Amino acid sequence: MARLVKKTAHAPHKVGEHMICMCGLSKNQPFCDGSHNLTKDEEKDKLYWYESEKREEIEQESDGCCGGCGDCQCQEGK
C-alpha cells in the first residue's frame, strides 16, 4: 500500500558525526545527501510532490487534505 508522508524540515539533523535526512528526499536514507536544497523555495502553506528532481504542487482541499488517497484521516466524518 502506498502512503503519503508529510515532511516539513528543510535541513538535516546532526546526530554525532552523521547528518540525518529530515526532508524525506535523500536517496541515502537515513543520511542526508543534500536533496533538501530542492525545498528551499517552497511556500509554507503549499503541499508538494517530489519525483526524482521534479517538483509538483498538489492542490489541497479546504481542510488541508490533498484528496489524493480518498482514504486519509481528514476524510473521516464527511
Per-residue pLDDT of 5-20, as tens digits, reads 888 888 999 999 999 9
Instruction: Tell me how crowded residue 25 is: count the other CB atoms within 10 A of its CB.
Output: 19
Per-residue pLDDT of 19-65, as tens digits, reads 999 999 999 999 999 999 999 999 988 999 998 889 999 887 766 56
pTM of the entire structure?
0.67
Domain boundaries, the chain: 13-75
